[in-house]
């Protein structure tokens, strides 16, 4: 059955406080052109040419706006269907009249959330990774997130995964040829060729799975603030966040749980976490806080250790670093606080006074450099961005491993087929009928 014509407001809904100067209503579907003709009572303009038209209520004939109208002929549209746009004045009354007029036509309906993108996918205008890139672009809050979303929307992940799928299909076609044409004169060393191809594919996917840049960009780079009690961890969190996010007290052990703030750090999305002071305690609640602090430090992408300049900060720093499993001296940062009381000069640390904010600029420069270094790991190849992709690729890896060690060709072919289906689920391409094309191209040309 033919899909109905849909419409939706493509700009924010105007309110009394924020009416907006312009509003755009988009239509997609087989009768989009008819809808425009009935609202304007004039023939459609040339495709992709914007014209000024009076828009009328189809029931009364009353003009409710003079707007710019654009018409886009299928299949060269975003959704692959006939499309149209109405560029209206942005007042609530005008937008409401336009939506009511479309509803009263009787053959249009309001689009469901994401339906324009869904139709673009169904008509082959984009794949699932590109659709996810559009969603990420809309949700982007930092420059780095915007760049990654644009890269994915432009098909970077699609090309990578389709290249892997093509390699897997070629290897699978060779196995299928060995099964289906046992009496044919197939090339020598075919099994070794397939084994090398599968092992190479497995290695490429393994490297991709180790790359955490994409997930870091979507969710935020995790930075844990750790250190002994009363070193100034909560004050540092508030100073960097520029608000009172954490309670600051001279009482040791005030922070019991992890407190998070989300920041834009030089264009990188960051989740900065204040943790409980690291010390031995007989208090069961504080012990749990210390356990969570250590777990957060070990799980974080970066760590910022805060120690007190007025005490034996070197011994305190060494004791905590020695018990932190993932401490990375090249990126993790040691902050010596309260240098307004006791000046500190050491090339390996960042001096700071949270009371006066002295040294904050230098700390932010170090943080941005460490964040950029963490985000650039594996730069070059498009990064993995979603848990859905990771799950499918891990399933693919398991199937490839079984194929490499399968005792029979038929079993290896089945596992390789499952691996290709797992990759196909990422992009929305699960067809394996290309096998015939590969088989005939590689083995049957001229026979």
pLDDT band at 281, cuts 50/70/90? low
- Tokens 């002929």 -> residue: 73
- First-last CA distance in the chain: 43
Provide the 10 A C-beta neighbour count for residue 157. Answer: 28
The whole-number pLDDT of residue 2 equals 65
- The pTM of this model reads 0.70
Residues 6+ apart with CB under 8 A from 325: 298
Give the tens place of pLDDT for each residue, 230-244.
888 888 888 888 766
Give the tens place of pLDDT for each residue, 305-352.
999 998 899 999 999 999 888 898 888 999 999 998 999 888 889 999
Cis upstream peptide for 156 (omega within 30°):
no
> Which whole number is the average pLDDT over 13-30?
91
The whole-number pLDDT of residue 92 equals 93
Cα–Cα dist 62/317, whole Å:
76
The whole-number pLDDT of residue 175 equals 84
Q: Given the DSSP bridges, would you call strands 83-89 and 63-72 parallel, antiparallel or unpaired? A: antiparallel
Cα–Cα dist 201/168, whole Å:
8
């Amino acid at each position: 059955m033919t899909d109905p014509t849909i419409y939706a407001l493509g700009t924010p809904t105007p309110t009394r406080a924020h009416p907006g100067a312009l509003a755009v209503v988009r239509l997609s579907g087989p009768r989009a052109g008819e809808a425009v003709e009935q609202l304007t009572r004039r023939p459609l303009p040339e495709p992709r040419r914007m014209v000024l038209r009076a828009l009328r209520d189809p029931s009364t004939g009353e003009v409710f706006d003079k707007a710019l109208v654009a018409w886009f002929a299928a299949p060269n549209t975003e959704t692959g269907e006939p499309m149209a746009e109405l560029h209206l004045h942005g007042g609530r009354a005008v937008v409401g009249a336009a939506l009511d007029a479309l509803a009263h036509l009787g053959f249009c309906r309001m689009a469901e959330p994401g339906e324009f993108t869904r139709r673009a996918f169904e008509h082959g205008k984009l794949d699932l990774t590109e659709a996810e890139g559009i969603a990420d672009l809309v949700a982007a809050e930092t420059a780095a997130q915007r760049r990654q979303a644009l890269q994915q929307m432009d098909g970077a992940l699609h090309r990578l995964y389709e290249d892997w799928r093509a390699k897997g299909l070629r290897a699978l076609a060779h196995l299928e040829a060995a099964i289906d044409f046992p009496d044919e004169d197939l090339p020598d060393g075919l099994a070794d060729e397939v084994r090398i191809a599968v092992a190479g594919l497995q290695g490429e996917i393994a490297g991709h799975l180790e790359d955490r840049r994409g997930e870091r960009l979507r969710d935020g780079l995790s930075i844990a603030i750790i250190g002994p009690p009363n070193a100034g961890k909560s004050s540092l969190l508030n100073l960097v966040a520029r608000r009172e996010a954490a309670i600051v007290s001279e009482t040791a052990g005030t922070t019991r749980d992890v407190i998070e703030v989300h920041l834009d750090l030089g264009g990188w999305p960051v989740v900065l976490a204040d943790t409980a002071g690291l010390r031995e305690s007989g208090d069961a609640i504080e012990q749990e806080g210390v356990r969570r602090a250590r777990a957060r430090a070990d799980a974080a992408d970066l760590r910022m250790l805060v120690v007190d300049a007025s005490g034996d900060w070197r011994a305190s720093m060494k004791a905590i670093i020695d018990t932190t499993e993932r401490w990375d001296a090249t990126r993790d940062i040691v902050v010596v606080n309260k240098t307004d009381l006791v000046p500190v000069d050491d090339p390996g640390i960042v001096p700071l006074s949270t009371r006066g904010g002295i040294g904050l600029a230098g700390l932010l420069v170090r943080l941005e450099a460490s964040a950029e270094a963490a985000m650039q790991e594996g730069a070059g190849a498009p990064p993995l961005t979603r848990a859905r992709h990771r799950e499918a690729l891990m399933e693919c890896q398991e199937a490839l491993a079984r194929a490499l060690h399968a005792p029979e060709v038929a079993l290896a072919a089945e596992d390789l087929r499952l691996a290709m289906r797992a990759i196909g689920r990422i992009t929305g391409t699960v067809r394996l009928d290309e096998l015939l094309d590969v088989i005939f191209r590689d083995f049957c040309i001229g026979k």
